[in-house]
Amino acid sequence: MSSSEDTLSDLQELTRSERRAGFVERGNRLYQAPTITSPYPLPVDTPENERLTILHNVLTELRANTFGPVADVLSPQEGQSKSVVDLACGIGEWVMEMAREYPHVTFHGLDVVSIATREPEANVYFEIHDIGDQTRFSDASVDLVHARSVFMTVRDYNVVVQEAARILKPGGLFLSGEWGPFVSFTPDVPEIEGENPDVHVPGLYRFYQAIRTACKDKLGIVTEGIFTIKPVWSRIPEWLESTGAFKDITPHHLYVPIGDWSPDPTYNRLGNFNRTAMVKFIESARDFLLSSGMTEAEFEDMYTQATVEINHNRTGIPGVRSIYYMVEARKT
């Protein structure tokens, strides 16, 4: 029996009042109550979870949810139990899908608020935990640590890397995935190649610029290169390497259209989903940006301009895309 299973008996189910204590309501949207180490600024309500579900489904179809040697790491081994920890699990979609695919593995979904399903699979345990703090898992006790869309939930991402290094078994796998908070252009559209986003998509450019500024000024999270400081997602490989605890550190990039302008049928369809998610993202960021100094008039102007761009000619502006940054690494 693994040490993570040993301590399951110590877990207690939250009461209704304890669940409510983890939330605050602002402007008809529901948010997590702030903690010292977990500053997550976006809502944790149904509209926001719908956005995250859309993105989860996009990544699932592109096989970006289980990249790397997952099957090898989680394959059954006689006399050994397998366990997985998902950091900032949200409503638990990744955990539930993986649990159905690997029924012999025990999955632990950790999040600072209780928004996961109340009817998990038999091999799934959802736990309240601030990922900026050390987990309850013993050293070298976990086979896989998964961290997706985490950078806005913790002030110091290196804490996540250090904790993964501590709890992973030798040969264990760390998977990270982060959406870049900016607009990218595909080189396949010559008329926009090399152009700045403020020229072709000024509304989206303003939105992402406001998000990056608010992350830096309000949360202390660096999301773009400033002199010698690199943004979070580009530093994950070097943080992993600096621990001396990982090998086979491999970054990957995934490009997803914003809009259904791609000639590829699959990316055309997924781009349409991403466009919907993009509009929901702007709506979810409203309170965060207003509390960071943006006026109502500025937000409405930016929102109107960005949604016009996203829905340009019902397909979006050709060549505009999101970038999903992935990193896999094995514990030495």
pLDDT of residue 177: 96
- CA nearest neighbour of 303 among 274, 280, 270: 280
pLDDT surpassing 50 at residue 9: no
pLDDT band, residue 223 (cuts 50/70/90): low
* Cβ count within 10 A of residue 55: 24
Give the separation between CA 109 and CA 127, rounded to whole angstroms.
Answer: 6
Average model confidence (pLDDT) for the chain?
Answer: 88
Task: Please give the pLDDT value at position 231.
Answer: 75
Structure tokens at 197: 């986003």
- Given a contact cutoff of 8 angstroms between Cβ atoms, the answer to whether 88 and 163 are in contact is no
Instruction: Output the six-digit token pair for 136.
Output: 């309850």
The residue ranking higher by pLDDT, 101 or 234, is 101
pLDDT tier at 234, thresholds 50, 70, 90: confident
Q: What is the pTM of this model?
A: 0.89
Q: Give 78's DSSP letter.
A: T
- The model's pLDDT over 276-307, given as tens digits with 9 standing for 90+, comes to 999 999 999 999 999 999 999 999 999 999 99
Measured in degrees and rounded to the nearest 5, phi and psi for residue 47 equal -60, -40
Cite the beta strand spans of 164-297 per DSSP E.
168-179, 184-185, 246-257
pLDDT digits (tens, 9 = 90+) for 74-88: 999 999 999 999 999
Q: State how far the Cα of 235 lies from the Cα of 239, in Å rounded to an integer.
A: 6
The backbone region for 265, taken as left when phi is positive above 0, alpha when psi lies in -120 to 50, beta otherwise, is alpha
Percentage of residues in the chain having pLDDT higher than 90: 67
CB atoms closer than 10 angstroms to residue 84: 28
The answer to whether residue 196 scores a pLDDT higher than 50 is: yes
The predicted model gives 57-69 an average pLDDT of 93
Per-residue pLDDT, 19: 52
Cβ neighbours for 133, distance < 8 A, ≥ 6 positions apart: 37
d(CA 95, CA 108): 8
Beta carbons within 8 Å of 65's beta carbon, 6+ residues apart: 56, 59, 94, 97, 148
Residue ranges and CATH numbers for the domains of the chain are 3-331 (3.40.50.150)
Closest by Cα among 56, 109, 60, 67 to 87? 109
Q: Would you state the pLDDT for residue 11?
A: 45
More confident residue, 37 or 56: 56
Question: What is the C-alpha separation between 197 and 194, in angstroms, rounded?
Answer: 9
Question: What separation in angstroms does the CA of 20 have from each of 47, 85, 89, 93?
Answer: 18, 24, 18, 22
Indicate the pLDDT class of residue 259, thresholds 50, 70 and 90. very high
Helix (H) or strand (E) holding 46: helix 46-61
**Biggest CA pair distance of the chain:** 63
Q: What per-residue confidence (pLDDT) applies to 32?
A: 87
pLDDT at 90 > cutoff 60: yes
Could you tell me the sign of the dihedral formed by the alpha carbons of 171, 98, 327, 110, in that order? negative
Q: Which two tokens stand for residue 271?
A: 């781009």
